[in-house]
């Protein structure tokens, strides 16, 4: 399969649709390609009439008769460079440079063109009922499927064709281009290495086998299925069904992720509305910013518009480590823009924060553990930039019973809990972080938190600020609310000296409210009083 080409001849690539198409998308993937493969098979049906006429109407007038019949049947302008027929010992017909262009579509490329073709059969097969053509071989087959609305053709009057069957059609090296129905969108082009069709005939569905090389991500695609009968009046409504496999797709061609993806599934419907079910498996998926591989598996249902490649995910379930994330949304093109944009609604009800952090943090030991629920908008535009730099997220999360794995950070949390309760020394109370919740937005590899709060026994923290995914620098400000009075957070002479100022920090029903800041590197953050706001009297 080759890249897209715009009107200036610029080559474009199909992006992956996995949800990381999260392809990919990842790029979730767009599995409407299998319907396109099937359409290539059925368009060859146009040549079936040619074959029958050739083998039954040999003579100097055969070429003119063939052209006239095709023009009447398909309301098209037909050109044929050469035609030769041999009747002994077997019936053999060969031709070169056959072009079919729909009337009224001079602004579009020819609907079909073939560099050369041949058809072979025996007299016994031809004289039977239905007529049988043993084999057809097509070289240099190129198909341009016009968009719906422009593809509708009136049903012309023509001689009825007898029933016939072509046992086998081989069309290796076929090129299929589906023209977009939205002005400014790029056409979709597929190069098919191997294409084999069986049992093609008048008003029949045919079976097909196809193999192609996907350019981005590179990998081998194979598909088998059924297609047709061909809708001459409206090709986009032609039915298609089948199964596919996609092996060893290299995700590293997308800047920011890596891994070897395999996928398989099934599809059915019409070209403009294809229902797809399948799964993907990527044993070594990794996001470049962390470099830590995980085993990513997805199950998906999707509806694909085979006329422009837009895909609607309903939904995708991504499984990795001990977490599951569910995504719904679409992968669609924008007029005048190369590539596709992935727009999703992402949700997780009982994922693990340590699993999510493994995708974004370099350290093998996650900085925090606990169950997390989240909801987020996910938007990934096309382009060559690193995924972390172009990914946009906006949502909220809740984290329950969390613990920090960094002992230095955990000890600070434990000390905060003891002071908040006015307890001296160590105690046996579990100092887990509870009710951690917040809103977040990721843009240009910078995570901002308009609101972030958590509780420990005896205290609560309210913060807002930013975290750099690349720099791993923290910058947060907020307030610390303790159940104990300020003088109760210490002992001895310090406690006595602080008693007179307890009323200054006793606010909003809390024993103590202090302005605080959290700064420094993620692995070694600094917790401290925000002295500027402390002396200004502003606690938030």
Per-residue pLDDT of the chain (540 residues; tens, 9 = 90+): 344 444 333 333 332 333 333 333 333 333 333 333 333 333 333 344 444 444 444 444 567 777 777 777 667 888 888 888 787 888 888 889 988 888 777 778 888 899 998 888 887 777 776 777 888 899 999 988 776 555 444 454 555 555 677 888 898 998 888 777 666 666 777 788 898 988 766 667 788 899 987 777 888 889 999 887 777 667 677 888 999 999 888 888 888 889 999 999 999 988 778 888 999 999 999 988 888 899 999 999 988 776 666 788 888 999 999 999 999 998 887 777 777 888 999 999 889 989 988 888 877 787 788 889 999 999 999 888 888 899 999 999 998 777 777 666 667 666 666 665 666 655 555 556 778 899 999 999 999 999 998 877 777 888 999 999 888 899 999 888 877 676 666 666 766 766 666 676 677 666 778 888 889 888 788 877 776 666 565 555
User: Among positive and negative, which fits the CA dihedral 106, 110, 116, 120?
Assistant: negative
- Identify the domain containing residue 519 by its residue range: 414-438+445-536
234 contacts: CB under 8 Å, gap ≥ 6: 148, 151, 152
pTM, full prediction? 0.71
Using left for φ > 0, alpha for ψ between -120 and 50, and beta otherwise, residue 387 falls in alpha
Q: Domain for residue 393, yes or no?
A: no
Q: Domain for residue 47, yes or no?
A: no
Q: Parallel, antiparallel, or unpaired: how do β-strands 174-178 and 142-145 relate?
A: parallel
Task: Give the angle 297-303-309 at the CA atoms, nearest 5°.
Answer: 95
Q: Domain for residue 501, yes or no?
A: yes
CB 138 within 8 A of CB 169: yes
When divided into structural domains, the chain yields a total of 1
Reply yes or no: is the peptide bond before residue 130 cis, omega within 30 of 0.
Answer: yes
CB 209 within 8 A of CB 176: no
**How many CB atoms lie under 10 A from the CB of residue 528?**
11
Q: Domain for residue 507, yes or no?
A: yes
Q: Domain for residue 306, yes or no?
A: no
Q: Domain for residue 146, yes or no?
A: no
188-221 burial, b at 16+ Cβ within 10 Å, e below that, comes to bbbebeebbbeebbbebbbbbbbbbebbbbebeb
Q: Domain for residue 510, yes or no?
A: yes
Helical H segments across 301-431, by residue range:
353-360, 387-390, 407-421
Write out the two tokens for 123.
Answer: 């007299």
Q: Domain for residue 504, yes or no?
A: yes
Reference 399, options 447, 440, 343; nearest CA is 440
């Amino acid at each position: 399969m080759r890249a897209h080409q715009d009107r200036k001849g610029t080559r474009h690539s199909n992006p992956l649709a996995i949800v990381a198409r999260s392809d990919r998308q990842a790029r979730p993937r767009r599995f409407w390609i299998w319907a396109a493969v099937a359409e290539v098979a059925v368009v060859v049906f146009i040549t079936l009439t040619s074959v029958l006429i050739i083998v039954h109407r040999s003579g100097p007038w055969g070429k003119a008769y063939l052209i006239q019949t095709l023009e009447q049947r398909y309301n098209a302008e037909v050109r044929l460079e050469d035609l030769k027929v041999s009747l002994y010992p077997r019936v053999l017909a060969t031709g070169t440079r056959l072009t079919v262009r729909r009337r009224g579509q001079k602004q579009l490329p020819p609907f079909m063109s073939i560099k050369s073709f041949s058809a072979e059969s025996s007299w016994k097969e031809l004289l039977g009922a239905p007529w049988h053509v043993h084999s057809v071989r097509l070289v240099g087959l190129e198909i341009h499927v016009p968009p719906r609305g422009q593809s509708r053709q009136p049903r012309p009057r023509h001689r009825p064709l007898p029933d016939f069957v072509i046992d086998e059609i081989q069309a290796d090296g076929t090129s299929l281009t589906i023209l977009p129905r939205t002005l400014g969108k790029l056409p979709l082009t597929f190069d098919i290495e191997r294409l084999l069709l069986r049992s093609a005939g008048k008003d029949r569905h045919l079976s097909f086998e196809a193999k192609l090389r996907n350019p981005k991500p590179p990998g081998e695609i194979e598909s088998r299925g059924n297609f047709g009968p061909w809708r001459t009046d409206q090709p986009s409504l032609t039915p298609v069904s089948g199964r596919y496999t996609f092996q060893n797709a290299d995700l590293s061609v997308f800047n920011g992720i890596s891994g070897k993806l395999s996928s398989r599934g099934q599809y059915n419907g019409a070209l403009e509305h294809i229902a797809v079910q399948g799964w993907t498996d990527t044993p070594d998926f990794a996001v470049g910013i962390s470099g830590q591989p995980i085993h990513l598996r997805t199950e998906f249902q999707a509806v694909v518009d085979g006329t422009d490649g837009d895909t609607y995910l309903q939904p995708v379930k991504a499984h990795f480590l001990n977490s599951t994330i569910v995504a719904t949304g679409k992968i669609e093109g924008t007029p005048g823009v190369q590539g596709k944009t992935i727009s999703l609604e992402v949700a997780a009800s009982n994922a693990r924060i340590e699993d999510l952090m493994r995708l974004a943090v370099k350290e093998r030991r996650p900085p925090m553990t606990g169950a997390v629920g989240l909801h987020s908008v996910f938007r990934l535009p096309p382009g060559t930039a690193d995924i972390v730099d172009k990914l946009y997220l906006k949502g909220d999360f809740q984290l329950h019973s969390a613990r920090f794995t960094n002992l230095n950070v955990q000890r600070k949390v434990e000390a905060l809990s003891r002071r908040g309760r006015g307890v001296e020394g160590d105690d046996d109370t579990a100092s887990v972080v509870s009710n951690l919740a917040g809103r977040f937005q990721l843009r240009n590899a910078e995570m901002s938190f308009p609101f972030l709060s958590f509780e420990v026994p005896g205290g609560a923290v309210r913060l807002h600020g930013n975290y750099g995914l690349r720099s791993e620098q923290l910058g947060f400000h907020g307030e610390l609310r303790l159940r104990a009075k300020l003088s109760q957070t210490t002992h001895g002479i310090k406690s006595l000296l602080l008693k007179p100022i307890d009323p200054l920090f006793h606010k909003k029903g809390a024993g103590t409210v202090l302005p605080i800041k959290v700064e420094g590197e993620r692995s070694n953050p600094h917790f401290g009083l925000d002295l500027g706001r402390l002396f200004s009297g502003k606690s938030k």
